[in-house]
Structures are given as C-alpha cells and as structure tokens.
Structure 1
Amino acid sequence: MDGDFQLAPGARRIVVAMSGGVDSSVVAALARASGAETIGVTLQLYDHGAAVGRTGSCCAGRDIRDARAVADRLGIAHYVFDYETRFRDSVIDRFADEYAAGRTPIPCVRCNQGVKFTDLFALARDLGADCLATGHYVRRVVGAAGAELHRAVDPARDQSYFLFATTQPQLDFLRFPLGGMEKARVRAIAAELDLAVAAKPDSQDICFVPDGDYARVVRAVRPEAGEPGDIVDRAGRVLGRHRGIIHYTVGQRRGLEIGGTAAPLYVIGIDAPARRVVVGPREALAVRAARLDELNWLGGEHSGPLTAKVRSMAKPVAARLDGNTLHFDAPEYGVAPGQAAVLYADDRVLGGGWITETLPAEAALAA
C-alpha cells in the first residue's frame, strides 16, 4: 500500500479522523500498515436516530456504523464522541446567520476550523497520539522552516481552499496521506482490503444539507431570512419581488424572473436589513479589491508573487496583499462577502481570510 505519515522518530500512536467514507477508511488502513497503534475517532454531528439512513452526508448514523465496521475489519480501536450541540452552535447556526445577513458562507471551513481541527485535535492529544491523520486531499510538505500546506496532486480532488484556516501548530500535528494520490488509487486500496466502503459515494460538500435545499435549513433556523422583498437596480428602482434573500447569492443570474431588460441581470449585492436583492449588468460584478478578516498566514517571510482563489472552484488569479486588503491584478468576478480568499505561491498555501467587503472595479476607476 501507499502512504507516508512522516512520523517523527519514536512515534507510536496515530489517531485517524474517521467519517465513515472511503477516504478516511483508507487513511486508517495506511496508519495501521505503518506499524503504529491506530485509533479511529468519529464525531457524531447529528442526532443518531434522525441521521440513520441519511445519504450524502458524513458523521451521521449510517456513517458511524460504516466507520465502526472498517475499524473492526482493520482490528483497530474506534471511539465515537457526541459533538452534535457543538456542531449546531458553531457551524449550522453560523451558516444560517451568514445567509440571513446576505453573505455566502462556507460551512466546511468553519467545521475544519472548529470541530475537526480544534476539538478533534484536542481529543487526539488527550489520547496520547503523535499525530492526527485525516482523509483530506491536500499535501503536508516539510520545508526548511517547518511543515507547509500544499495543493493535492489530483487537482480535481484538491481541498486546500477549505483548509486555509489551519494554524501552524495544527499543521505540525496533522498528516494528510491522500494528498499525493489519485482518487482511483484510494478506491483500489479499499477494494484490495475488502473494505465495505470501497464503492461508497462521496459525501456532499455541505454535509448537513443532504438534499441540497440549504434554504430550508436556513429558514428552519432563521425564519425571517425567508421573508419576501424587493428586487431593485443600482438606482433603487423596484424591478420585481423575491421570495427571500436566502435564495440569492452574489453573481447569480438564474431565478430572478425579471423580464423586459435589454441585457441579462445578475445579483450584485444583498441588502439584508431592507430585504432587498440588488441587480445589475455583469460588468457591475467586477471587483478590483477585497477586504479580508481573520487573516491566517502560513507563508512565513514571503515577498514573491502570489495568486488568490475567491471561490472553491475558481482558478487562482494574480493578486497582491497589502495589510488585510487583497488587490487583484485584473478585475475579478463573483467575489462575495462571506466567501474566503485563499492565497498561494505556486502549489503552496500561504494563508487566507474571510471576505468582508469588496471594491467594485467601477468605483476604483472613478476614484
């Protein structure tokens, strides 16, 4: 089997975060094959009864059973910890609050930042582990100044965007053995070991929204976010009505149901207090700079060129960081408050922050 945990000399115990999917199951197998004592840990993030049978999620009832079955197959210890309340408070409620405020959240980052890489980190330490291994597709590379975070070899699976908030102490303790593998190889290892999850479908990005209806989740937590309001242009003229700001994000074109315009209209802003969706032409989406909050820096004394991703599926673009303001070399489109801007030097993750405000290219030209 493949896999290199880069264990420190004398390391004897590995804790593996097991979600019940094929990726973390293979990580557990690789850890076991390394000769170290391996302990699987699963965080229960949903009510067990309500979660049984739910598909397309992680850390639910069925997934807990799958993780336990894999642990039994590998002959390793497996523990389940109830983190439902913590997950609801730090991830689900915050997700709803962000949408209700007109922002576009990324709950996966908040989950990694809190429940997974803070709470699970502490659990691994309490269990006497020498490292915590996860099934994320990202690489940990030891450079001259210590551990660095790099993109995965498989660009279609790379999850570095979602891990920008990882701190240096966390990175020193974490291991990501799948970052150098293709997904097909991971499934092949699972099949070779006759793991029942070898062909299990991947979980959805937003694990607590298995049916894709995130508006329903937000409405259940923050009902006021589902109240209708006006769709207006940049001058404030009412063009139509919407069915709740939770159904709209910056850059969206479909679902506006506004006719009679000469050119297509896009969502260019959301005024949550007034329950207004602001629309305009595509050029109004162009952004020259973005202000970042909670900036996390992993790049050390970096002074060279960098690129930035402002959405998980976006291509990195040339940019420069001045304090907490990110300036794009060319106008960037679809930059939304609530999303993250992740900074790279080639394949290395330098850090990133949360987008709180944008400067339209039109305003920059007029200044």
Structure 2
Amino acid sequence: MLVNKQPVLLLCPSLIGAGVERRIYLLVNQLKQDWSHLKLGLLREEGQFLSRVDVAQRVYVPPDSFSRFFCFPLKQFQEPYYFLLAIGQIKMMQERIRPAVVMTFTLETTLPMFFARFLVSGHRPVWVISEDSNTAVAAGNVCKFEVVNVLLKNVLGYVYRHADFITTVSSTVQDSVEQQYGIPVEKINVIHNPVDSDGIRKSADNNRPFNFEYIIAVGRLVKVKQFDLLINAFSHVYKSHAVQLVILGEGPEKKHLQQLAADLKLADVIHFPGFVNNPWVYMKYAKMLVLSSRIEGFGNVITEAMTIGCPVIATACGGPADIIKHNSNGLIADQDALSVAHAITRLLDSPELSRSLSSQALLDAEKYHPIHSSACFNDMLLELLNSTNHHTTQCHKRTMLSIDNDA
C-alpha cells in the first residue's frame, strides 16, 4: 500500500459531542493508514472519543504557554479571549507540523484559522473547510435584528471565499454554501458522514430496554429539532395505537417538552430518559425512529438507525433527502404534526411496509461505512495537493522564464 508522507492537519475544538466529533475520530483512524503524517489538532484535549485516537495522532498546544503574552488583557471578556487563544494555538500547531493541508471542522476552528494562516511566515497550506451544518441559514437567524444577521452572513462569506476548498455533508449544505456565500461550485464537493456500523451493531446487541412498544427520537433538546412537533403528532397517533414515545437527549427545551406532554395528558406514555451512552439498543427495539427537525445538515441518527434495521421517518428538512429514498428505505413527511402522524400511522398499520423499509435501509447503510468516506477524503486531498503542486510548478516556470528574458 502506497502511503503519503505529506503532513495533514485536521482541526477540531475537542472530541466532546456525538456529531462532528464522531465523524472526525472515524476519519482519523481510517486516513492514518494512507497518510503517515496525519495529525488531529485540538483546542481542548477532552471528550469521550479522545481515547479512540492514538496519542501519536493528536496535537495539542496548551494555551497557558503563550496566553499571558498574547491575549491576557482580554481575559475578562470570555468570547474574545478564547477566540484569540484559538488563533495562537492554531498558529503554533502549523509552525510545529508545517502541514501541506489544513482542514477545519466547525466555526470554532474555521474562524481563527482565517487569521492564524497569516501569522505563519513562509508557509501557506491548502485550506479546506468542512461544512457539517447549514451555517449560512443559521447565521441568518442569530439575532432579532436583521442587520446583525446580514453582517454575520457577509463576514462568514468573506472567510469561506478565502478557503481553497469546501467539503459539505449533503447536497443541501452544498447548495446553501454556493448560493449564500457565492462560492464557485467547482470549489465544493459532498462527502457524506461515515457511520461506525460495526461498533453500532455490536452496541445494539443487548437486552431490550422497555417491555412496551415504542417510537424513538434522539437528539439534543433544542428548538431546531422540533420535538414539540413530534409530541403533537404523537398525540394524534396515540388515540388509535397502543404505542409510547421515547425521546433520548438533554437540552434547554426539556422542561418545556415535559410540560407539553403533561398538557396533552400524555406524561405517562412519553418518556425522557435523558442522554444515554448506548442509544442504538433503544433504536434496535423501536417500532421506528422519527427525526422531526426544522433543518438538518445531514442527519447522523438516520444512518445509525438504518445500520441496525430500524425504520426511519424524517421531516423534509434538507440533509435527510440525501439519505432517504421515500417509500424505499424510509419515509419523508412534511413539517407539520398531521403529516408526521400520518407517516407514523402508515408504518404502525403496515408491518409489511416496515419490513421492506428496514431491509432496504440495511443495504443502503453500507454506503456510509467509514472506508467509503475516508476514500473520498483521500481522493480529495490527493487532487488538491496535485493541483497545488502543478500550480506551483507553473508559477516557478513562469518566474524562471522571466529571469531568462531579463538576462
């Protein structure tokens, strides 16, 4: 096997979380087989996936080593302070590794990278932004004052246009980056998130968590996930079906959702177990998984459910359209309670449809194995480096020709 020795640096705030963080550790463990000098740079050396990345693959620059000189005067202002710390950390990582390619994940590393790359003298790596969510849409809804939203979107657009390449997790995010930020389509590609199918199936092979039939939903309890829509949809379903609802996750909307369940007199059949380390065993025994989000960049929970044969319903919210083929490996519903209730009822009333969706989902889930995702990243990195080397060679030839002519 041919191993590339050019240094590559992947930047992530930490390995706390289960979305982009899971994607990164899977990616690192696959890509290191093809790139001997691949490093994962962390702003904070913490997270539940930290032990799954070899110490030799990780790079961490403690901010204490330079913060008292670099940005101590701003310590009382938390956000600017940590932002400046990140710039310093990323600068020092680049000086230490001298990477040929830097790939940033999340705005917490993308924004400081924009500034840090100007601080490393004599070195300008290829910069790739990995866009895992619909940042352009989110930026337009940060503040109630539209002028602030427009300003933020323009700033992000300026930053993104200075990257050499952008990889997105779905065609929806790709379209958003192209249209909202004015990025040429040839500078963007789509690489779907990988799913740890082997690990998930192993974790799911466990005892049934409940002795009743239930529908499962998984995610952070925030407004964009629209669990209130799901609860309202369930209130229609429960009138004619002896099934319960389990919502896994924690977040600021938990009390509101519990109160909504109580107001609908469904508190006894809607359960909030909170965050669990093994959500896949809950998925395995569920009648179906429902994703009710207003917007999703991809929808990792969908491919995870498909991996263990759990039928899936998702609202039409962007990213899931890349995964779900309606009536083939899952169902797509409009973003209203009655449409979601109708889709749930269809599956409950038709075991044959449920089995058909489950069987096709198991087959389609193989497309998201980490091997396939890392192969796409590997091809992208090689193509970017080859095009950069070709451009550098052409510039060198033009420079030498100019010198010869002057002579």
TM-score, normalised by the number of residues in structure 1? 0.30
Structure number with higher helix proportion: 2
Larger-Rg structure: 2
Structure number with higher strand proportion: 1
Q: Greater relative contact order: 1 or 2 (C-alpha under 8 angstroms, separation 6 or more)?
A: 1
